[in-house]
Amino acid sequence: MSAPAVSLSGKTALITGAGGGIGRGMALALASAGANVTVAVRRKTTGDETAALIRAEGGSVLVVEADVAKPVDVRNAVDRTVAEFSGLDIVIHNANAGDSAHPVALEEVTDESWHSQARVTWDGALWLAQAAFAPLKRSSAGRFILLGSAFGLHGAGFNPVYAALKGGIKGFTKSLAREWGPFGITVNAIQPAAATEPAEVFFNQYPEVRAAFMRNFPLGRMGRPREDIGRAVVAICSDEFGFITAQSIQVDGGLYTAV
Amino acid sequence: MSAANPSPQVRESKVAFVVASGANVGSRLGRGLARAGSRVAVLEDAPAGESADAADGADIIERYPTSFASRAEVQRAFDAAAADLGSPQLVLVSALPSSLFVPTDSDRLTANEWTSAVQGAAKISLYCLQAAHSYMVKSGGGTIVCVGPSFALVGAARLLGLSTVLEAQRALVKSAARQWGRHGIRAHWIAVGVGTNYSALQEVPLPNGPELGPPPPPLGHVPDFEQDVAGIAEFLASSAGRGLTGTSLVADGGDWMVP
């Protein structure tokens, strides 16, 4: 492994939805910085793939099968992490229902389509916060990070359910940060724009959109899951970011600048 | 031009539906709109007899007991009101379950409290938007305004669910504005200072504004549903507001002055 700019040696991180995309990128970046990493995934095969990449670089990793919509699964993932690595310092709720790239007309949104996403984005966030609260309090520098989206800021017409749920994550972040601040735990959200598999699926389906969208990035491109998003998360987890909490941080190459 | 003699552009006769949860909220908003010349239907889940000031304004607003449990029930209430008053040009939504206003440690929230109250509240906003759309898309447009307590913009400890719902509502409104603008439908969100507007929050230790010293807002008073918020909604729905959509307006007397 190359020498990391920031060391998280001795820290332990748990990431949901780390079987691919941004979650995998963050897991690799955190492991590269020296953290023990628990990869919590719904399908173990995807977690094993992430774990193999981490181990190939000499990192320390645990794979736990967990549906974040089920409190018992989430608590099991936290408990196994604490048992394996003797603590938990960093928790990242990255899992989502994977529907962000599907256009939806607001007037056609059903209860079922709402629940299928909310159970992962919102319920998963709460179950994870509840399960992780005790070990994060014991950490000297607890970090709780949620994955938001620029959709939640600008209210994408593209997918209103995804926009609403990610907007809600912003409120969740601010209130939990105020509640957990006295315990020394920071709570932040990141709003990434990354070239992930779902993004590629979308751009392959709507190729005319790709070039126009890329022009919206001052840096001229979407982020790379590990190098751009992962490293930013490593920074947030470092001591240098210990006084930053309750923030929704754009990690998007300058895509959304209206804040 | 004085406030007592508003612009003819703003004072336009219209049909307005106020969708409200809990006693008095609908009455105050409804009276404010009715006294400005609108024909007003208040769709509320509090039976008229339970509303402390239900009698005040009974001559100028029509009440429709409403269940918010499903999209069909919300639609039925809209249909009943529209049958009496006609298609709405303004729909004002302030429908938040009282259970969300009870401060609770996040680690003590039960699964039922979270899913029923938080997801239920978010879906009420969704149902109201969808019902409003069903009329406005046929009548050539209209204005939808959702209203919530302003603390959601800054977060509050132990009000995790309410914060989450309100920021979700705000994003959902923006999505509605993006999707339905081509139909002449405009959508906005108003953050209202707590003051006497939300009696359930008056004893809750909410974050003060960022200014040093005593916290009263620069205007010296917190805007009131009837006197102030109804007027803002009326302006947004008027021809004077035709260039605005997807906005978040903060009616807190100048407390936070959000960026």
ipTM of this complex prediction, to 2 decimal places: 0.94
- The DSSP bridge partners found for residue A144 are A91, A187
pLDDT at A44: 97
Whether A132 maps to a domain, the answer reads yes
User: Which of A106, A116, A186 to probe by mutation at the B interface, max B CB count within 10 Å?
Assistant: A106
H/E run at residue B63: strand B61-65
Confidence of residue A156 (pLDDT cuts 50, 70, 90): confident
* Whether the predicted pLDDT of A182 surpasses 50: yes
Q: Which residues pair with A37 in a beta bridge?
A: A13, A61
Q: Between these two residues, A247 and A204, which has the higher pLDDT value?
A: A247
Q: What was the pLDDT predicted at B135?
A: 98
Q: What is the mean pLDDT of chain A?
A: 95
User: Across the interface, do B170 and A122 touch by the CB < 8 Å criterion?
Assistant: no
Does the residue A16 lie in any domain? yes
pLDDT in tens, A196-210: 887 888 888 888 888
Q: Pick out chain B residues at pLDDT < 70.
A: 1-12, 23, 47-58, 214-215
Is A6 contained in some domain?
Answer: no
Of A106, A153, A166, the CB nearest to B179: A106
Q: Distance from B35 to chain A by nearest Cα, in Å?
A: 32
Domains and CATH numbers, chain B: 15-251 (3.40.50.720)
The pLDDT value given to residue A2: 54
Q: Which tokens in the block code for residue B30?
A: 């409804």
**Which residue on chain B is closest to A159 by alpha carbon?**
B175
Q: Quote the CA–CA distance of B119 and A114 in Å, as a whole number.
A: 9
Q: Between the CA of residue B145 and those of A192, B79, B171, B186, what are the distances in Å?
A: 29, 19, 13, 8
Domain residues for the domain of A28 are: 12-251
Residue A33 belongs to a domain: yes
At A198 the pLDDT is 79
A1 lies in a domain?
no
Contacting residues for A183 by C-beta, under 8 A, at least 6 apart: A136, A137, A142
Amino acid B5: pLDDT: 46
Report pLDDT for B168. 97
B138 phi and psi angles, rounded to 5 deg: -90, -25
Distance CA A66, CA A123 (A): 13
pLDDT digits (tens, 9 = 90+) for A118-134: 999 999 999 999 999 99
Task: Confirm whether A256 is domain-assigned.
Answer: no
Domain count for chain A? 1
Rounded to whole angstroms, how far apart are CA atoms B149 and B155?
11
Any domain includes A88: yes
- Cβ contact A126–B126 (<8 Å): no
Amino acid A4: pLDDT: 59
For the entire predicted model, the pTM comes to 0.94
- Of A115, A164, A259, Cβ closest to residue B172: A164
Give domain status of residue A204, yes or no: yes
Q: How far is CA A239 from CA A226, B15, B32, B71, B93, in A?
A: 20, 57, 52, 48, 44
- pLDDT band with cut points at 50, 70 and 90 for residue A33: very high
H/E stretch holding A29: helix A21-32
Q: Residue B227 and residue A247: Cα distance in Å, rounded? A: 34
Q: What is the CATH number of the domain that holds A198?
A: 3.40.50.720
Question: Residues B185, B193: contact at Cβ < 8 Å?
Answer: no
Q: How far is B4 from chain A (nearest CA, A)?
A: 35
pLDDT for residue B33 = 96
Task: For residue A111, list chain B residues with Cβ-Cβ distance below 8 A.
Answer: 70-71, 123
Cβ contact (<8 Å) for B157 and A178?
yes
| Closest partner CB to B126 (pick from A71, A109, A156) | A109
